[in-house]
Amino acid sequence: MDTDTRESRILDESLFLLDELGVAPTGRLPRSMVGARWRIGMRTGTAKHITAAEAAGMVESGMWLDFGVALCQPDVFDQALAARTGELSDVKIRSCLSVKPRAFLEADPESAHFQSYNWHFSGYDRAKHDAGCCTYIPLNLGEVPDYYRRFIDRVDIAVLKTAPIDERGMFNFGPSNLWHRALVERAKVVIVEVSPSMPWVHGDQNGVHESEVDFVIDGDAAPLAELKNPPPTEIDRAVARQIAGEVEDGACVQIGIGAMPNAACSLLAESGVRNLGVHTEMLTDGIIDLCKAGCVTGARKTLDPGKAVYTFALGSQSLYDAVARNPDMQCRPVDYTNLPHQIMQNDRVVSINNTTQIDLQGQAASESDGHRHLTGTGGQLQFVRGAYASKGGKSFMLLSSTYERKGVRKSRIVLDLTPGNIVTTPRSDVMYVVTEYGMTNLKAKSVSERARALIALAHPDFRDGLERAAREHGLLPRPVALAGRTARARS
């Protein structure tokens, strides 16, 4: 059936329904289609094709909507919803990691009509938070499916971008599994926005059957959003060099986002390490490069041997092409990838993540700058704990020793965290800390031993000041006078 014929049929059916209900045509679906059977989550078994405008017309003031995560966030529906901004109020929209500007936020810069709630910030989300248009939801990422099933009231309307329907009647989530199955289960109305650009990806629970879908709208064919990583600096490579020798043949890696973790991938590829496994939250271009270099086989994995397992992918089109219909790349729910009791089932798990600030006791702040929220907890803490529980496992916290702000160089290793900074990984969990000046393992170290070890990783220009501050605040013993001379007490 061609597009014109299908749209004509939809219009005829809609007008017939409106006539039966005694409602004048308004260009959007009537309240009854979001009430009665729809509001209690009953499906007819046949998903109905409607326009984006009709789908957006189902939204009423006070509703909760959910746009899902990253590449699954809808675009055509978002634009249609933005067109109704002036008609709505107190519409709450939950989402995560926006990969492009959201039309509903751009149409409502004062947040007079829409309220945005976000599980993890992208750069765009951070800017909207700075403007007062978005708020963060604290989490451990691997727990979110359970949040939907146990703690979150049923969502009025869930809208997800998917691949076109397949031969089994499934709308595939592409390389973004996460908690989308739990969201579908808890939504009163499920709408899919079908995009031919979304790749079909292998993975457990990585889609929704047409019998679970209420409405289908046609998305656009725009290319998927890409996340370009900046090329690694010499400092990034210096940090990465510290850990390359710590990753053994047969290790199972989780590698986070950013230039430093990607530099680690490059150096691992050059190191000749073999038979790596992958069990990670985010699949990155760096991991794909490791696969292409022949470093990844998954042969020594206990859980999912021979498979690279992840919960979402974000990067270049080359990354999306690599996972499309590739049975060796498995996109699984986030409670499968991120919960520590799952992670620990593989031996020699190596977790590699960034942090932005660490204090002299080892608290890692990775998601905020004081009270200004930057990103999110994500799965960092869960992978740190899962790696530790793994037989022979290791976790690495990477950071450059300094950063610059308004032309002033500052240390990332500090006596005290910036007031308001959020502790992402507690001191009791941090294992290896790595800067361009070296690496230390904080496990089993006393407070004074930690302080000395971390000061040694700081930039030389800041070491003396950090040592003085540590002594003044009791983290290091003060010098002790002995027989008319001064000696430093041993810690």
pLDDT of residue 231: 86
Claim to verify: residue 389 and residue 438 sit in the same structural domain: yes
Q: Is residue 213 part of a domain?
A: yes
Q: Is residue 29 part of a domain?
A: yes
List all residues 6 or more positions away from 443 whose beta carbon is below 8 Å from its beta carbon: 431
Q: What residues does 330 pair with on adjacent strands?
A: 309
Q: Is residue 225 part of a domain?
A: no
Q: Is residue 487 part of a domain?
A: no
Report angle CA 162, 163, 165 to the nearest 5 degrees: 105
pLDDT of residue 229: 82
How far is residue 209 CA from its own chain's centroid? Answer: 25
- Residue where one domain finishes, among candidates 192, 218, 244: 218
pLDDT of residue 8: 40
Q: Is 355 helix (H, G, I), strand (E, B) or coil?
A: coil
Taking all residues of the chain, what is their mean pLDDT, rounded to a whole number? 90
Residue 154 burial class via C-beta count within 10 angstroms: exposed 0-12, middle 13-18, buried 19 and up: middle
Q: Where are the alpha helices (DSSP H) in 293-379?
A: 317-323, 334-337, 340-343
Give the span between the Cα atoms of 100 and 323, in whole angstroms. 21
pLDDT for 11 beyond 50: no
Both structure tokens of 387: 């790696």
pLDDT, average across residues 392-396: 98
Backbone angles phi, psi at 261, to 5 degrees: -60, -35
Claim to verify: residue 24 and residue 96 sit in the same structural domain: yes
Confidence band (pLDDT; 50, 70, 90) for 257? confident
Neighbours of 420 (CB within 10 A): 12
pLDDT of residue 481: 53
Give residue-wise pLDDT tens across range 345-367.
Answer: 999 999 999 999 999 999 999 99
Give residue-wise pLDDT tens across range 265-313.
Answer: 989 999 989 999 999 999 999 999 999 999 999 999 999 999 999 999 9
Q: How many CA atoms lie within 13 A of 235 on its CB side?
A: 10
Q: Is residue 223 part of a domain?
A: no
Q: Is 169 helix (H, G, I), strand (E, B) or coil?
A: coil
Q: Is residue 436 part of a domain?
A: yes
Task: Decide: 133 and 125 in contact? Cβ < 8 Å.
Answer: no
From 193, 281, 436, 467, the catalytic residue: 281
Tell me, yes or no, if 143 is annotated catalytic. no
Claim to verify: residue 276 and residue 346 sit in the same structural domain: yes
Task: Decide: 145 and 333 in contact? Cβ < 8 Å.
Answer: yes
CATH of the domain at 251: 3.40.1080.20
Q: Which among 326, 332, 339 has a CA at the least distance from the CA of 311?
A: 332
**Which letter does DSSP use for residue 176 in this model?**
B
Task: Decide: 122 and 129 in contact? Cβ < 8 Å.
Answer: no
Confidence band (pLDDT; 50, 70, 90) for 16? very low
pLDDT of residue 262: 86
Give residue-wise pLDDT tens across range 325-340.
Answer: 999 999 999 999 999 9
Do β-strands 357-359 and 438-441 pair in parallel, antiparallel, or remain unpaired? unpaired
pLDDT for 39 beyond 90: no
Neighbours of 369 (CB within 10 A): 15
Claim to verify: residue 273 and residue 409 sit in the same structural domain: yes
Backbone angles phi, psi at 136, to 5 degrees: -95, 145
Claim to verify: residue 208 and residue 284 sit in the same structural domain: no
Claim to verify: residue 32 and residue 180 sit in the same structural domain: yes
Claim to verify: residue 107 and residue 49 sit in the same structural domain: yes
Backbone angles phi, psi at 101, to 5 degrees: -60, 140
Task: Decide: 361 and 405 in contact? Cβ < 8 Å.
Answer: no
pLDDT for 485 beyond 70: no
Q: Is 321 helix (H, G, I), strand (E, B) or coil?
A: helix
CATH of the domain at 97: 3.40.1080.10
Both structure tokens of 357: 């600030």
Neighbours of 211 (CB within 10 A): 11
Confidence band (pLDDT; 50, 70, 90) for 253? very high
Q: How many domains are there within the chain?
A: 2
pLDDT for 490 beyond 50: no
Q: Is residue 205 part of a domain?
A: yes
Cα Rg of the chain (Å, integer): 25
pLDDT of residue 3: 42
Give residue-wise pLDDT tens across range 153-172.
Answer: 999 999 999 999 999 999 99
Q: Which among 157, 165, 161, 190 has a CA at the least distance from the CA of 175?
A: 161
Claim to verify: residue 206 and residue 260 sit in the same structural domain: no
Residue bearing tokens 């929704």: 208
pLDDT, average across residues 248-276: 92
Residue type for 77, please?
F
Q: Is 279 helix (H, G, I), strand (E, B) or coil?
A: strand
Range of the domain at 80: 3-218
Backbone angles phi, psi at 86, to 5 degrees: -65, -15
Q: What percent of the chain has pLDDT over 70?
A: 88
Q: How many CA atoms lie within 13 A of 172 on its CB side?
A: 23
Give residue-wise pLDDT tens across range 440-468.
Answer: 999 999 999 999 999 999 999 999 999 99
Q: Is 484 helix (H, G, I), strand (E, B) or coil?
A: coil
Q: Where are the alpha helices (DSSP H) in 354-446?
A: 380-389
112-126, 157-171, 226-240, 424-438: range with lowest mean pLDDT: 226-240
pLDDT for 15 beyond 50: no
Confidence band (pLDDT; 50, 70, 90) for 210? very high
Q: Is residue 87 part of a domain?
A: yes
pLDDT of residue 480: 56
Do β-strands 312-313 and 282-283 pair in parallel, antiparallel, or remain unpaired? parallel
pLDDT for 20 beyond 60: no
pLDDT, average across residues 121-125: 97
Percentage helix, strand, coil for the chain under 3-state DSSP, each rounded to 5? 30, 25, 45
Claim to verify: residue 384 and residue 314 sit in the same structural domain: yes
Of the two residues 405 and 14, the one the predictor is more confident about is 405
Both structure tokens of 361: 């006791």
Report angle CA 406, 408, 413 to the nearest 5 degrees: 120
Claim to verify: residue 337 and residue 297 sit in the same structural domain: yes
pLDDT of residue 206: 98
Secondary element (H or E) of residue 252? strand 252-255
Claim to verify: residue 291 and residue 391 sit in the same structural domain: yes
Sign of CA dihedral 220, 198, 377, 138: positive
Q: Is 202 helix (H, G, I), strand (E, B) or coil?
A: coil
pTM, to two decimals: 0.89
Both structure tokens of 165: 């329907």
pLDDT of residue 478: 76
pLDDT of residue 339: 98
Q: What residues does 308 pair with on adjacent strands?
A: 278, 329
Give the span between the Cα atoms of 151 and 97, in whole angstroms. 21
Residue bearing tokens 């691997």: 142
Claim to verify: residue 274 and residue 325 sit in the same structural domain: yes
Both structure tokens of 321: 């092409």
